[in-house]
Chain A
Amino acid sequence: MNRNSNVYTIIYASVMVVAVAVVLAFTSESLKSFQKENAENDKRQQILRSINVRVSAQEAKAKYSELITDAFLINEQGERTEGDAFAEDVVKAFARKVYPVFVADIDGQTKYVMALAGSGLWGPLWGYISVNDDCNTVFGADFGHASETPGLGAEIAAAPFSNRFIGKHLFAGETFKSVAIVKPGNSAEGQDYVDGISGGTITSQKVGLMLFDSLKEYTKFLTSQNK
């Protein structure tokens, strides 16, 4: 058979493409359940870290169902709406103006966990932040990033940074202010603040922006819980 004929080349290419497609489809289907579970456990770990609970991926499911008592979506008015808060992708949820809330019960005290999403210096940022039942005092926070600079901006994902938020207040009086992130040594007027990362100024600022933008959508929910 002439290996350089057009017919041979076209048949060869077609058979190859179909064969590869079958192999890839089979791999993807057979690994899907493992991948989904990994992604879910990763999300559970993030939510748990925001209420200061650090567990391995294997323990995440059990710990999550033990501590998280309720999960729901709210709309812009702070009212509950239809939908699965855990399964919904945070960015997609924000885009259609619904916002996930997770309710945790820690030693009899209620904590509200809210989702955060924004963009960093090089790629997306995300995170979860929890508040006490006064809906004002931060109980814990956790941040993640896709591609911030290792050792600099990427440090936002480490506990020393997220722990700085504990005990800060989201409201000054009745007004929503968020928590500012400032250069170490500086302060912010009229609101609570934490130190940013040295050498990660832009990423730190973007975290501040993400906090403000994401949490302002929760304002109505937070104030209605207060009353």
Chain B
Amino acid sequence: MGLSNKNKAILAGPLSKNNPIVVQMLGICSALAVTSKLEPAIVMAISVTVVMAFANVIISLLRNTIPNRIRIIVQLVVVAALVTIVGEVLKAFAYDVNKQLSVFVGLIITNCILMGRLEAFALANGPWASFLDGIGNGLGYGLILVIVGFVRELFGFGTLLGHQVVPEIFYKWGYVNNGLMILPPMALIIVAAVIWIHRSRNKDLQEK
């Protein structure tokens, strides 16, 4: 089954030109909190993608029935229910990761990307397009999380996914892990660096 050009744009747009973090500036808070190591960043990316895709589909299916006055409440209930289910599933099948993510799974509910996409996209589009939009935005968010997590774990701990990658001999030569990388402010600086690179490659995104 091929995707139409419009659907391709919906899926691929958020990965670069319309990225939720570096262009729309949504969901920065969780990008700071869970990226000191790569593994929680990946799990968070997958969780957000799953929640966003299903929330988009559900809201899109319900969009013609939702009373306008309580639509935000309906969106919140759908998102909160999905997040609770994801949290329970993690607790049952990925206990260690769940311990690391702890409160941040619950905080997916308040991730602005979710409410943003539900309001802006799912309420006005069909389920299939909404599903693609959710997957696209989730992956766009996850991409930045993985980049930031990669840089922070590599320079902060000398490991990737818990495996030592900086050779022991480097430490003998006087190399030290950069403790600053582990602290939240470095995530902001790395996100800023990503935005810098991204804008310099996409001149049309630069503000005049």
Residues of A whose CB lies within 8 Å of any CB of B are 3-4, 8-9, 12-13, 16-17, 20, 23-24, 27-28, 31, 34-35, 38-39, 41-42, 57, 146-147, 150-152, 199
Contacts and interface: CB of A to CB of B under 8 A. Distances in A.
Interface stretch (B16-24, B43-51, B69-77): B69-77
B80 to A, nearest CB: 8
Given A4-B67, A57-B95, 12 more contacts: A3-B66, A8-B67, A20-B77, A20-B78, A23-B81, A27-B88, A27-B89, A31-B89, A34-B93, A35-B92, A42-B99, A151-B36
B179 interface: yes
A150 B156 CA distance: 11
Contacts of B88: 27-28, 31, 35
Contact of A12 (B66, B84, B93): B66
A147 B67 contact: no
A16 B74 contact: yes
Counting chain B residues whose Cβ lies within 8 A of the other chain, the interface size class is 20 to 34
B92 A31 contact: yes
Contacts of A147: 102
A35 B91 contact: yes
Chain B interface helix/strand/loop/mixed: helix
A12 B65 contact: yes
Contacts of B95: 35, 38-39, 41-42, 57
B67 A151 contact: no
A28 B88 CA distance: 7
Nearest to A21: B81
Contact of A27 (B67, B85, B182): B85
Contacts of B74: 12-13, 16
Interface of B: 36, 65-70, 73-74, 77-78, 81, 84-85, 88-89, 91-93, 95-96, 99, 102, 156-157, 179, 182-183
B92 A9 contact: no
Chain A interface helix/strand/loop/mixed: helix
A173 B150 CA distance: 52
B188 to A, nearest CB: 16
A37 B105 CA distance: 21
Contacts of B96: 57
A20 B91 contact: no
Contacts of A35: 88, 91-92, 95
A35 B95 CA distance: 8
A9 B85 contact: no
Contacts of B77: 16-17, 20
A216 B102 CA distance: 31
A24 B84 contact: yes
Nearest to A3: B67
A38 B73 CA distance: 34
